[in-house]
Amino acid sequence: MRGPHNIWRLVRTGATMERTGAMRVAMDALEAPKAFRLLARAVVWPVQWLGYRGDETVPPVPRALTALGPAYIKFGQILSTRPDVVGPELAGQLQMLQDKLPPFPREVAIRTIEAELGLPLAEAFSDVSEPVAAASIAQVHKAVRADTGQAVAVKVLRPGIERAFRRDIDAFYFAAWMIEKLSPASRRLRPTDVIAHFEGVVHGELDLRLESASASEFLANTAGDEGFRVPAIDWALSSRRVMTLEWAEGISASNIEEITAAGHDRALLGQRVLQMFLRHALRDGFFHADMHQGNLKIAPDGDIIALDFGIMGVLDEYTRRVYAEILYGFIKKDYKRVAEVHFEAGYVPANRDVDEFARALRAVGDPIFGMDASRISMARLLSYLFEVTERFGMETRTELILLQRTMVVVEGVARSLDPHINIWEVAKPVVEDYIRSNIGPRALTRDLWRTAQVLARFGPKLPQLAEAALIAQSRPAVPVVRPAPRWWGIAVFFAGALTTALGTTLALLLS
């Protein structure tokens, strides 16, 4: 239920952050204003005893996020790729959330495998190792197929993970609802829609049959991409809670020392990660949307191996073209065109001034070019972008959430491999190639041909469709009788419950 009872969950979140020491560490890393630090700690300090203790052997922030649950762990995974935002020390600590979480017992995994596949373990695998990687939703075991002797990776969902995610998402929904009610200005960011989008993404991760299908499609799309690999799925030994795929040998992308010691070209790897992401997003409209270091391996021959296909992004043709034109405009420093694309796509309200918006975009883009990437503060850049979008009334585009989030993650991975990478120079050839193929006379001819094909299929029905439209238009309008609104009672109930809950919380804080 997404009711006010979720206040308790949110209170425990703040209490856990304070009790584990994560609140202070996070405030320091984000350079929060002193007044905000004092206010935040004054609110949660009296109730810190309500928070989870967590594993005291783990650093404060990952300790708190691990104790709070899988949805919070996902948030920490994103931050682990952004040392420019949270600092290198905290980013290093958060990397343990990618694939080094506490595993559940091997015996529990074996029972799940047998129940899901409907056969004894010995008939499926001749050997199943202890967990080799454990993440927020599932863990992986190395195994050997009983019939072929092939080494495979077996992914098994954590016990009770569906219920744990449901609890966290319900609390997020309630927090989004409260934010919208208490801060009307935040509604342009559509927090409830953002959580709904996140819920849909998580649902895909909790059914490994969907992940297997995504991996299979991704493999087909990228089969010709030099330097990039996707392991093949073993459908015969996969189900809703178990997924089997070929074993991939390599160094984790998070282990920079081993990558360097193995003699790999880190600058080349950084470029390849970023370019592959852009190529998949623009060319295919289907991209890996969780490309943090824990989901990437470097093969002995230098190929990048992608793992974990629970979160995949999908872009339609129109959105891809808009995204490409925006990137291309930044690369060419054509801020007027970037502004026009925003208006044409409806991202910015039509009553705003396009020239003023273009000048605001120039203030974002110009400082990037010609600079060493290590000198750019992404935290300040994101902060300024937020100010620009707020000033021009841009709303959150839920169809772009995964794309924007993944771009942030991929840039963080590329920068960890090559701290001096220039994202715009690396992106330029991929975006230019897409522009040549999909925007211009060639693309217009292709679009017209596709339109003609669609219309041809409807050719025999066009007279009937036209007649039906004319008849519908000639009919007199029938007044719609709407029933009396029923939401007043619901609103009164939740308002009373919310007031009671807030009063209880305030009493706890003052006691």
127 is catalytic: no
Nearest CA to 390 among 360, 365, 350?
A: 360
The CA distance from 389 to 189, in Å, is 10
The CA distance from 83 to 29, in Å, is 10
Going from the C-alpha of 276 to that of each of 94, 217, 261, 272, the distances in angstroms are 25, 16, 24, 6
Nearest CA to 396 among 189, 192, 195, 197?
A: 189
Distance between first and last Cα of the chain: 29
**Torsion angle in degrees (nearest 10) through CA of 10, 11, 15, 16:** -30
Strand ordering across the sheet containing 242-246: 125-134, 138-145, 151-157, 242-246
The CA distance from 118 to 112, in Å, is 10
Catalytic residue, chosen from 99, 168, 170, 290, is 290
What angle is formed at CA 365 by the lines to CA 359 and CA 370, rounded to 5 degrees? 135
The CA distance from 236 to 150, in Å, is 14
488-499 b/e with 16+ CB inside 10 Å = b? eeeeeeeeeebe
Block residue for tokens 């909790």: 206
Active site residues: 290
